[in-house]
Amino acid sequence: MKKGVYILPNLITMGNIFCGFYAITAVLKGVYEYAAIAILIAGILDGLDGWVARMTNSSSRFGVEFDSLADIVSFGLAPALLIYSWALIPLGRIGWSAVFLFVICGTLRLARYNVQCSSSESKNFTGLPIPGAAGMIASLIILYSHFQLNLPKPLFVILLTYMLAFLMVSTIKYRSIKEVHLKKRRPFSVLVTVSLLLFVLAAEPQLMLFILFSIYIISGIVENIFCHLLNRLPHRIKQKNTDRG
């Protein structure tokens, strides 16, 4: 700390905290869609500060810890308060215990990430990243608000909250975009795919955001099951050969 801190990435992290704080104030005012949008913007800033730190070679232990504290506000407390006020108040103790579990699991996820960030967390995340869980909640509320859906909120939301809390502290591997190098050459088809994706996202953002977060969450589960079955396949083949012999 005597040598000082890097200004640019930490300013972006402050913007992350501001979005989380704004989301909380928006929830208190009952403006749930604005709160959800603020959480999504915080997610963009959360990815941007790490990217800027790596690009400018200004990564530091202080930045990692500061970023984690910001994430607790923006992706732990803010979405928990949002989902509770929006759907779970009628459930009483069951509702607030679910969002408390969400906050605790998110905090544990961040603590585990800080311990593992120098090793196994470089290419894959262990457990669902807390910004992904918060983004799922925010995109759900935006989807409900835009399409004025009449699905039973409390039952669906509490199941979703418990599922996200479990996934955050699980050992399921999720892909990380930190290793994506934009400077490297890519096939032309990649550019076309990204362009089409951005076009669809711009055409119907309320729906596409929810779909993208859902795909990301499900992808970790599906890939984990596939890898588990693939690892067990040689053992089964060996056991069949032994039985035949």
What is the per-residue burial (b if ≥16 Cβ within 10 Å, else e) of 30-53? eebbebbbbbbbbbebbeebbbbb
- The number of domains in the chain is 1
Q: What is the pLDDT of residue 231?
A: 77
The answer to whether residue 238 sits within a structural domain is: yes
The answer to whether residue 1 sits within a structural domain is: no
The answer to whether residue 2 sits within a structural domain is: no
User: Would you say 75 and 63 are in contact if contact means Cβ atoms under 8 Å apart?
Assistant: no
Q: What is the pLDDT of residue 121?
A: 47
pLDDT at 104 exceeding the cut of 60? yes
- Determine the distance from the C-alpha atom of residue 233 to the mean position of all C-alpha atoms in its chain, rounded to a whole number: 32
Q: What is the mean pLDDT of residues 78-104?
A: 93
pLDDT in tens, 119-163: 544 567 888 999 999 999 999 999 988 887 776 678 889 999 999
The answer to whether residue 205 sits within a structural domain is: yes
The C-alpha atoms of residue 48 and residue 40 are separated, in whole angstroms, by 13
pLDDT in tens, 60-87: 778 888 888 999 999 999 999 999 999 9
The answer to whether residue 233 sits within a structural domain is: yes
pLDDT in tens, 208-244: 899 999 999 999 899 888 887 877 766 555 555 555 5
pLDDT at 3 exceeding the cut of 90? no
Q: What is the mean pLDDT of residues 94-106?
A: 94
The answer to whether residue 212 sits within a structural domain is: yes
The answer to whether residue 142 sits within a structural domain is: yes
The range of the structural domain enclosing residue 18 comes to 7-244
pLDDT in tens, 10-55: 899 999 999 999 999 999 999 999 999 999 999 999 988 888 877 7
157-162 contacts at long range (C-beta below 8 A, 24 or more positions apart) = 157/83, 157/86, 157/87, 157/88, 158/87, 158/88, 158/91, 158/94, 158/95, 158/98, 160/136, 161/83, 161/88, 161/98, 161/99, 161/101, 161/102, 161/137, 162/98, 162/101
The C-alpha atoms of residue 193 and residue 197 are separated, in whole angstroms, by 6
The CATH number covering residue 35 comes to 1.20.120.1760
N-term to C-term CA, the chain: 67
